[in-house]
Structure 1
Amino acid sequence: MRVLHVISEMGSGGAETLVAGMVSRGEEYGWTSAVASGGGFRADALAADGTPTFPVPLARRSKVGVLKAAWAVRRAIARFRPDVVLAHNVGASVVARLALAPGRRRPLLTVFHGVAAADYPAAARILRRVSDRVVAVSPATADRLTASGLDSPTVVRNAVFARPPVFGRAEVRASLGVPERTPVALCLARLEPQKRHDVLLDAWAAVEGDAVLWLAGDGSLCADLERRSEALGRRIEFLGTRTDVPDLLAAADVTVLTSDWEGLPLAVLESLAAGRPVVATNVGGIAEVLAGGGGIVVPPADPAATAEALNTLLSDRLTRESMAAEGLRSIERDYDAHTLMKTYDELLRLTLGGER
């Protein structure tokens, strides 16, 4: 089965991580994979490993941009000749539908990673028109799509494609100038409005002791957040886009995510798989992931609750270890990469067989 993934970019986000993992494991299930995207370090890594990659200009929600992106994806389809197209999120699905020329019928499946609450009705309306099947990455996301008018989205929970760290805790901390015993919280998130780093910085002002906050990611809010952090008088390190997430997780004590909305963030799953407890907002599928332990769920836009949770975990090693063990059990039980790949393989082959 020849599978073409269409996605806006292949940088450090969760959807990009999922695509890279699915491509890397696809051969085990009889897939020949390719990726059409706006590029990024994950696309470069896949190309270096021999995966066909095709450049697609970012659509940027303009009609001209969408048409240019569709023409690029059409060229990728002509060259790669996929059996099925797997589009990640709504914009990529629109582009892929426009790119699929009349004639030979190639199914288009959408993997829906989530949108802001106000955007669900529009997303459901578009996906009804362009997609042959919609896969939601968590039950919570599927429920919202259904409530917005999309019939029977399929749920396939995101999973962790584990990568071992290259360097250990002591080496990574030494490279970033952090002593061994200093508590470290790590936030793996693009510096964009959705992720609400402003809430995190307000919370960090109330975190006790000499703890250090690492912000791994880049984005449009970087300069503003750097100025804001300087006024706090606390140690906050902006690490930029990183390709060594397993190493950072090995060196951190906890991770934190203060998003306004999510689907099922890979950052949370990767943290639990690395044995790191999580403080995260109660949005999307996060509460479901942490229901069996593994971290503390806090309300969105609540710096006080976020600070209290961080203080609890950063100051209490036994609590961290207990939650880490619970998180690992959750990952092994419910978020296994083989289960994800097997389910997608069955879905794609079923759809190729003609069932919508």
Structure 2
Amino acid sequence: MNADPDRRSRYRTAEPLRLGYMIDTLVTGGAERLVVTFAEALRGRSDVALTVFVLHDGDTPFRRQLEALEIDIIRLPGKNLVDRRRFLRLLTALRGRRIEYLHAHLASSTTLGAFAAGLLGIPFATTLHNVRPSVRRVRRVRKLLHRVALRLPGTEKIAVGQAVAEASRSELGRSDCRVVPNAVPASVVADTAARGRVRHELGLGEDVTALVCVGAIIGQKAHEVLLDAFGAVQARRPDTVLVLVGDAREPDRQRNLMAQAERLGIRENVRFLGLRRDIPDILAASDIFVSASDWEGAPVSLLEAMANGLPPVVTDVGENRRVLQDTGARLVPPRDPFALAEALMEMVADKGLQMRTADEVRSRVLRDYGADAWVERLLDLYAERSARRDWRRHTQ
């Protein structure tokens, strides 16, 4: 995942680019993880000064990680999207930090950031993370404002994968977007002692095959389909355990999943771990990565699993097929628990397939989805529209 070590020294600048990253929350999720990944990659660099603007005031793991990196964080909680006082605070903060480029993630930040950047004449970009807009179930005015923000002439659109770019065309009108695939840093690879430590914590013997799913307990992730599939696997392979990692944003949904596991007779073999900070360690302690999502963009959790050498069994949605092509990973249609169960059984039963696929996916993510190259692509994009001519000047 490490790019050419001399690459960072090829650029010199009289003063760092004052870059703003804006995001809805720092609780959990792929977009939030990418903000932290970007900040980690900037350590030791002098060409960028990063400020993170977050529309949430909670004390969260990702926020603490950014604080440990000594990143400047501006918290901008508000009553609602059109909170006038918050918008004025955002304008004041952007001026006060003299932000020269603003990059937003997620819907609310995109909407507020686009209008604020437009008023202040700041170059602006937003990353599109999913094949479906995240405002589908919100009020009409939010949808309208989000769509207007995406279509503003100064809004640069960045898709995390080709599937996302293609799916976003209806939202973008005639405008297009660039594709910059997601990435993971080397830090997501767990240390060699993690497997034994976490398996001991979870009470997993070495003869147990642990299937792990990482994702918030929300409808998009289709955990109910996964439980149905795992019930069929358990009936044939009692030596399997399903580990679910993710915060329960909808408590009723998690209670329903627990009740479903009871009905299926698999409750003792399903571990609801909730929100965890040690996801790489949990991945290292597991044997197979599984996802039953109805839709995705380019899931960071999949890339993290690949980096830790887990063979994936996932639904054929979003960028998954492109990322996993020719690796041996198994892809199945969404909303098909029978197909998911059969693919899981194939992977569980064939240790050779597990090992070959693990090697292939690890090689793929190291080669194509490293953080250093990803950061350089983003900085090149910022440089194209930066108002300052002295930033990122190539040395002779």
Between the aligned partners of 1:129 and 1:169, the Cα distance in structure 2 is 48
Alignment of 1:42-61 (within 5 A): 42-57=62-77
The yes-or-no answer on 1:186 pairing with 2:212 is yes
Between the aligned partners of 2:335 and 2:272, the Cα distance in structure 1 is 21
1:73 maps to which residue? 90
The yes-or-no answer on 1:156 pairing with 2:190 is no
**Identical aligned residues as a percent:** 31
2:222 maps to which residue? 196
Between the aligned partners of 1:48 and 1:245, the Cα distance in structure 2 is 18
C-alpha distance 42-181 of structure 1, shift in aligned 2 (>3 A): same
Q: Structure 2 residue aligned with 1:215, among 239, 244, 251?
A: 244
1:290 maps to which residue? 324
- How many aligned residue pairs are there? 350
Give the letter for the 1:162 counterpart.
Answer: A
2:300 maps to which residue? 266
1:135 maps to which residue? 158
1:329 maps to which residue? 363
Give the letter for the 1:341 counterpart.
Answer: V
Between the aligned partners of 1:68 and 1:226, the Cα distance in structure 2 is 42
- Once the two structures are superposed, residues 195-224 of structure 1 have per-residue CA deviations (whole angstroms, 9 ceiling, x without a partner) of 111111111111131210010001212222
Question: Which has the higher mean CA deviation after the structures are superposed, 174-183 or 88-97?
Answer: 88-97
C-alpha distance 283-241 of structure 1, shift in aligned 2 (>3 A): same
The yes-or-no answer on 1:169 pairing with 2:195 is yes
Alignment of 1:304-323 (within 5 A): 304-323=338-357
Give the letter for the 1:270 counterpart.
Answer: E
2:315 maps to which residue? 281
Between the aligned partners of 1:165 and 1:118, the Cα distance in structure 2 is 31
C-alpha distance 131-315 of structure 1, shift in aligned 2 (>3 A): farther
C-alpha distance 206-136 of structure 1, shift in aligned 2 (>3 A): same
Alignment of 1:216-231 (within 5 A): 216-218=245-247, 219-220=249-250, 221-231=253-263
1:205 maps to which residue? 231
Between the aligned partners of 1:117 and 1:337, the Cα distance in structure 2 is 25
Between the aligned partners of 2:315 and 2:88, the Cα distance in structure 1 is 39
Give the letter for the 1:179 counterpart.
Answer: G
The yes-or-no answer on 1:102 pairing with 2:119 is yes
Alpha carbons 1:273, 1:327 under 8 Å: kept = yes
Structure 1: gaps of 5 or more residues: none
Tell which has more relative contact order, 1 or 2 (C-alpha 8 A, sep 6+).
2
Alignment RMSD: 2.3
Shift of residue 162, structure 1, vs aligned partner: 2.4
When normalised by structure 1's length, the TM-score is 0.91
When normalised by structure 2's length, the TM-score is 0.82
Instruction: Determine helix, strand or coil for the equivalent of 1:238.
Output: strand
Which of 1 and 2 has greater Rg? 2
Instruction: Determine helix, strand or coil for the equivalent of 2:265.
Output: coil
Question: Which has the higher mean CA deviation after the structures are superposed, 324-333 or 110-119?
Answer: 110-119
Shift of residue 76, structure 1, vs aligned partner: 3.2
Give the letter for the 2:273 counterpart.
Answer: L
Between the aligned partners of 1:117 and 1:298, the Cα distance in structure 2 is 23
Alpha carbons 1:70, 1:96 under 8 Å: kept = no
Instruction: Determine helix, strand or coil for the equivalent of 1:114.
Output: coil
Between the aligned partners of 1:342 and 1:83, the Cα distance in structure 2 is 18
Between the aligned partners of 1:29 and 1:329, the Cα distance in structure 2 is 31
2:14 maps to which residue? none
Give the letter for the 2:180 counterpart.
Answer: V
Between the aligned partners of 2:285 and 2:87, the Cα distance in structure 1 is 42
